[in-house]
Amino acid sequence: MHKIVEWLEHRTGIQTVIKDFLYEDIPASSGWHQVIGSMAVFSFIIQVFTGILLAFNYAPTPGDSYLSVKYIVTELTGGRLIRGLHHWGASIMLIIVVLHMLQVFLYGAYKKPREATWMVGVVLLLITLGFGLTGYLLPWDNRAYWGTVVTTQIAGQAPIAGPYLARLLGGEGRIGVVTFARFYALHVLLLPPLTMILIGIHVYLVRKHGVTPAVGDTAPRRKFFPEQVFKDTVGVTLGFLILFTLAIVADVPLGKLADPTDTNYVPRPEWYFLFLFQTLKFFKGPMEAVGSVVLPGLAVLALFLIPFIDRGPLVRLGKRTFAFAFAALAAIAWSGLTAAAISTTPKNTEAADSAVEELQAWQQLTPPELEGLGHFRKENCKTCHVGAGKRGIGPDLTQMAAAHRNAGWMVPHFKRPSQIVPGSSMPPVQLTDPQLNALSAFVLKLTPQNEASLLSAPDFAVQGASIYEANHCGACHQINGAGMKMGPALDGVGQRRDRAWLEQHFVDPKSTSPGSIMPPYKFEPQEMDAMVKYLLQLPKAG
């Protein structure tokens, strides 16, 4: 063991680094108030660790993301706990970061030569808020969708840069795939490494200038290990116990799948943004930008400039009357605005978790109609048929059923567009007759009311329905009234069976259903995944 340590020390210097870190000199006045910084770093580590565990089962696309979160919390072993740790950990991390900055502010530890240390801390606070903001959209439920709509609209109010910010966030017009992809990239790819770099810089600056001693502290300095390490360990353990308890006893809400047509939904941000949400109510019309952008911008600027505004010598904690008064006023203002926002929040009509089961329009499609949606996407029909109320090259497909079109008209039109509609510039659709029938079945389901929901159907559902049709499952089973009744109807099968049962049933039907005449199916892993996910989301009949 000694030789291994010696080898590592000679090649990396790791032993020297650890000793320098543990046996750093710290002021005798250091104590329990210094543990908050260590708790903040530990909170970030918890977020990274739980985020990685969630990513193993998370599908980073709209629609699919919602179903994957539902799968994590309902089927995955420990999934609800991991999501709870990540969700509540975000709130606890923000609280700890704010408390750490408050402690530094009250002690005056931002004064010369520690100005840069303070400013890096302010950036870390903003990034912590950024984590909450970008992660809010990722479950893709109504709460996340409409909260992000408000966020992008606020960003668009920024003077001069507003339109560019809205375009950058992908929130120009409606929230969709672009917004989701950019929020996910920020949350997973950009902010974590940036946070790691800034934490490294922050720790380096703290070590360079040392922990701020209390005024008049002339006692001999002591080592970081073991006394302060013990206190940090106690603080970190206490914080984790609180987080673990929250993750167990407080369920994280998951509303119904994001519905862009549900304009009656009243959006509300996370609790730590409620004060800003309430502040906006004091500014109407052209003054909205003042409450949404100008005042928050000035507040952030003031935080950055505190070391340069307060340039006086360090004084005892008991004499920092102005600092305590300023912090107290800020806390009262934040608490009052937050309480006002909570008291005026209308009652949520979506019950936590139970709303997950609310039926979406695309879930009511039969397998052939969902397969038709797949052909609709592959043929890029949306390029010319842009949607209800919009002018495109082709006609509005949401009016086909109202115009009394049927498959007998549409299939020949797909094959020979210019013969059925003289002058049509549409190219022939190169699909088989069954595929054209499926495409026409989907198009005839489109209405101005359900178009957005149908087109948002997740890829796994479309792929699963296509596999279902390709294997002629409808010859024995029914889904949404389509198919035969030789076998049991598959509506609501996810409430009777779990993923493992379904996978085993496909591989060896008789092992799960003795006497079954169903043949075994050797799906590829991706096909099996899509098929099982599709079946698990099927709603109950009626």
DSSP string, 387-452: -TT---SS--GGGTTTTT--HHHHHHHHH-HHHHSTT--PPPP---HHHHHHHHHHHTT--TTTHH
pTM for this model (two decimals)? 0.68
- Over residues 471-500, mean pLDDT: 88
pLDDT of residue 470: 93
The CATH number of the domain holding residue 430 is 1.10.760
Query: Is 368 in the same domain as 233?
Result: no
Query: Phi-psi category of 140—alpha, beta or left, where left has phi over 0 and alpha has psi -120 to 50?
Result: left
Q: Which domain holds residue 31?
A: 26-271
Is the distance from CB of 97 to CB of 44 less than 8 angstroms?
Answer: no
Query: Is residue 434 one of the residues assigned to a domain?
Result: yes
Using CA atoms, how far apart are residues 225 and 115, in angstroms rounded to an integer?
A: 27
Residue 542 has a pLDDT of: 59
Residue type present at position 26: I
Collect all residues with Cβ–Cβ distance below 8 Å to 348 and sequence separation of at least 6: none
Task: Tell whether 337 is covered by a domain.
Answer: no
Residue 353 lies in a domain: no
Of the candidates 227, 242, 271, which is a domain's last residue? 271
pLDDT at 158: 75
pLDDT band of 269, cuts 50, 70, 90: confident
- Average pLDDT score over the chain: 89
347: pLDDT strictly greater than 70: no
Of 240, 271, 302, the last residue of a domain is: 271
Q: How many CB atoms lie within 10 A of CB 185?
A: 13
Give CA–CA dist 392/253, Å, rounded. 40
Q: What is the pLDDT of residue 240?
A: 97
The pLDDT > 90 percentage for the chain reads: 51
The pLDDT score that the predictor gives to residue 352 is 43
Per-residue pLDDT band for 348 (boundaries 50, 70, 90) equals: low
pLDDT digits (tens, 9 = 90+) for 515-538: 889 999 999 999 999 999 999 889
pLDDT given for residue 421 in this prediction: 87
The residue among 155 and 33 whose pLDDT is bigger is: 33
Distance CA 13, CA 10 (A): 6
Please state the rounded mean pLDDT for residues 126-150. Answer: 91
**Chosen domain end from 232, 251, 271:** 271
Measure the CA–CA gap between 356 and 350, rounded to whole angstroms.
9
Q: Indicate whether 182 pLDDT > 50.
A: yes
256 with 108, same domain: the answer is yes
Encode pLDDT of 350-400 as tens digits. 544 444 445 788 888 999 999 999 999 999 998 888 877 777 788 888 888
The most confident of the ranges 85-99, 350-364, 417-431 is 85-99
Give a yes or no: residue 147 inside a domain.
Answer: yes
Q: Do 263 and 366 fall into the same domain?
A: no
328: number of Cβ within 10 Å:
10
**pLDDT: which is higher, 383 or 465:** 465
Residue 348 lies in a domain: no
Looking at residue 159, what is its pLDDT? 75
Q: What is the model's pLDDT at position 440?
A: 93
Whether residue 113 has a cis bond before it, omega within 30° of 0: yes
User: For 178, what's the count of Cα atoms within 13 Å in the CB-facing half-sphere?
Assistant: 11
pLDDT of residue 354: 42
Number of structural domains found in the chain: 2
pLDDT band at residue 334 under the 50/70/90 scheme: very high
Q: Which of 365, 390, 384, 522 is nearest to 446 (CA)?
A: 365
Higher pLDDT, 367 or 20: 367
- Determine the average pLDDT of the residues in 97-109: 95
Note the pLDDT of residue 356.
42
**In whole angstroms, what is the distance from residue 92 CA to residue 247 CA?**
11
On whether residue 330 sits in a domain, the answer given is no
Question: Do 365 and 468 fall into the same domain?
Answer: yes
Assess if residue 325 is contained within a domain.
no
Are residue 65 and residue 199 in the same domain, yes or no? yes
Are 478 and 378 members of one domain? yes
* Residue 46 and residue 165 in one domain: yes
Inform me whether the pLDDT recorded for 461 exceeds 50.
yes
Run of H or E including 201: helix 191-209
- Report the range of poorest mean pLDDT among 75-89, 378-392, 434-448: 378-392
What does the alpha-carbon distance between residue 228 and residue 300 come to, in Å, rounded to a whole number? 32
Whichever domain contains 201, its CATH number is: 1.20.810.10
Inside any domain, residue 510: yes
pLDDT at 408 over 50: yes
